[in-house]
Amino acid sequence: MVCSVSAKPETLVSVLHADQDEDGALHLDEAEALEFTTVLALGIATRSPGGLVMRTSAPGTTDRVYGWHLRGEGLEPLTAGEVFDAYCTDIESGDIISPESDVDYCVPPDLGPEGDAPGHHH
């Protein structure tokens, strides 16, 4: 996953890699996770423009790319076309990048009702 937040004096970008083993256990680097959640929290807390892109890979399948805008205090899903445009544009120059083969640009999965974080009850 990649999170980017437009902040002064520069855009903040954080990358989080996660792997799932055969038993379904998720493995990630704690320092990466801390940095990623800090950048995401900063974007949400300051209501700064930003986005989140997730790329999933599994043996024998095409990679899938999903995306969300940071909007207010939450995430708003991107359309498949918006994901394609975001993923195929160079952040630095704004130039178009050729799409990769064997990659599907998709509408993201439903994250559930807005404001209801998993495991949190009102």
Model pLDDT for residues 10-22, shown as the tens digit of each residue: 889 999 999 988 8
pLDDT at 4 over 50: yes
Q: Of the candidates 80, 77, 83, 79, which has an alpha carbon nearest to the alpha carbon of residue 114? A: 77
pTM for the whole thing?
0.77
* Mean pLDDT (the chain, rounded): 86
d(CA 110, CA 107): 9
Q: How many residues does the chain have?
A: 122
